[in-house]
Structure 1
Amino acid sequence: MNKLVISQAKKHKGVIVQDQIKTMLDDVAFKIGTLRKANELFSDRLAPNFNIFDYLRTDEMGLSRCIASLLNPTGTHGQGSLFLEDFLNRIDKDPLVNKLDNHWTGTATDGCQVSLEKQANGQRRIDIYFRFKNGEIIGIENKPWAWDQENQLKDYAEFIKKEANGKKWLLIYLSNNDPSNSEYSIDKKHRELLEESGSFIWLDYDGLIEWLEFCSQKSKALVVRIFIEELAKFIRMEINGELDMSEELEVKNIILKSDESIQSAFRISNAIKAAKEELLMKFRDDLKGKLNANGFELVWDDSMSKGWKSYAGFGVKLNTEQNLYLRFEFNSAGLHDLYWGIARKNDSIKKDAETWNKINLEMSNQFGSAGKTEWWPWWSWIDKHQEFGLEFRHWDKNEMPWIAINKNELAEKITNLAIDVHDALKENQNLLTNGVIE
């Protein structure tokens, strides 16, 4: 076979593959569009966007209260120790705990005392705290959004160990953030020693959802089952940033429709990362141009271009002299959980309490009250800002940030926000040059 024939055959194959991919993408677009239209037409009967947790306390403490209530064997759910016993069984399935003889399955659950915000070591408070009647203790540090504080997990572990007084104990880190990224909270060597002894495990929210699904299936009370389903839905959407379940089902069915669809889906999946990288370079260049036109300077992390590790981000210097700058940062790897605020530019800039308080006040007056840490005088989740919805918080699982980049809209949004921050701090620009330099 000569080279011309081979070349034509490859070209023909390439056209077929392109046609298959286009057909599948058109199919997905049609089905999702139809589903969304149906949801709109029948919203009075289906209420697809209604969630009871939109009207309840949904901060870290509110979520902890829901989890603790279900785990409490004397809770108002009326299912006794069913939920707690399954939770203990799941702990034993953790690879590090499973290889040990000291398991939690079979622990006496009657008489178990459940506490919220258990005070530990001065100002520290453990989110969920269990003391079993035989003296065993489990503490759960629930971290759906916020950062760990300095030595937080270390202090919790020491407190629980002391309270257990020789009895079995465990600290559960409930978070989507790998604890290996929490050296600030507990050093690697200490954490690994605790893991090896079965006194520390990491549970992410996917694992929690699996437990909630069990609880929903086994609950004999309809009202409890509905509550658990809504809680799982809230965690999927607000913490994990997942797609609408019905849309995900439609896409899955299209992918599994034929061998060609599966092949096309994998080709698309393999190209997604490269497409995102190219869009990020476009975003960087667009944003740099718009910021420079306003007298600002872009700060771009290398990890934003590739790798996308936890705490990857970018920032805006409102003036060249500043030690504190406007920053946008992802809490988890893969461009997940975007937050923003005023941050120190490096660890040589130490916290100055007076400066931190003044910045927090000025920013809160303009953008609403928010958090404050050693690194950030003021920070907030991006979706708390009126110009950015929840879809801009989870770039790993939502198409909207990428469409906004492709349309040059996101660079415009960020630039406008930088202008708003500049104006909010106009009378106090000196605050950004403060901070103790070591």
Structure 2
Amino acid sequence: MCEIFMEKIFYQKLFSAICDAIDVAKSVETENQSYNIFEVLKIQDKEVLICRLLGDLLDPSGRHCLGEKPLAIFLRQIGYDRAFSSEELRSARVVLEEVIDENRRIDLVIYVKNFVLPIEVKIWAGDQKNQLRDYYFHFEKENQSHIDKICYLTPDGREPSPYSCNGLSLDQIQILSFRDDIAAWLDEVLGVVENQRIRTTLEEFREVIKSMYKENRIFNELIDILKLGKDDGFLSNDAIKAVVAILSANENEQLWENIRRAYLRHALRFDTSEYELVDDDRRVKDGHSIFVVKKQGKTVAWICVDTNLYIVAERIKTENRGCWSGDNDYYWRYLCPNGLKKTYALKKANLQILNYDSIELGEYLDEIDLSGAVVC
């Protein structure tokens, strides 16, 4: 019994962490009511695309038409103490995914005059063995360019692991964060932007950075709780056991089906003195039915989910048939929460169930012709 009790505590803590993640996602959504194309494309999950955008903004020849201004602001923002003239900055080059030995690639490399500033970006990917060390000494061996530091850019400004540095001192690394350095840089660049289209793009990118940092913080906290860092190896523990159990339970969607069933029992609104919902484990209607709606023991309708939530009935009152789709075999209509005038996707896990707790069913049941209802 003690072991079962302890397992329940771990699950409760895990669910608490998941709720925190949901609250963060909802707060970001609430703060940003505008349509953000970067959010739609989930650019915050794609390091390559983020590096391309950063690279173009830093490139004096980029499509932003701001010349060397973004690069000059960036170098000043990070405290790079080399003094360059405007002409030298205008001649700067920004290289994406520069290939070095063994076909490895550095995310961003800035060349100004005879100086080089490599930038390694880490959002979700982990550090690689000797990565920063090898990158730094690759440029140090180059005779054409001088390297002062290598930049290590992450959402929250965390330090690189010894696994990546392997003897490289922190004096040789410039630690940067999207949260502080890139956000502040974008704020200052916005101060010199006049083109409204470019301004909107940068503002949307800044919003993505904000959500990226919050998501990354939660992700790193979970990694820490689960002890999945490179230095931890793999230690079997109760937290991992809880996560794996949840993932396994949802592999065939049984977990979501149970959540969805409980949610619909709570949310569907109808006269419970006349009708009842009965679990349809046999999935009678096309394999999609979740509940049978019954009245005095007779089957009236089926509540179904294919991609979206809908109701199926075999007979509809003549005056109401225009509102239903189907033919003489059966009729159907989408069911939506009150206030949501569109389809309601419930085949896969959907966080919208946290926002809508009322789905009108009674008015649809009133449109059904009960003359042919049978006991089953």
Structure-2-length-normalised TM-score: 0.50
User: Is the helix fraction higher in 1 or 2?
Assistant: 1
Larger Rg: 2
Structure-1-length-normalised TM-score: 0.43
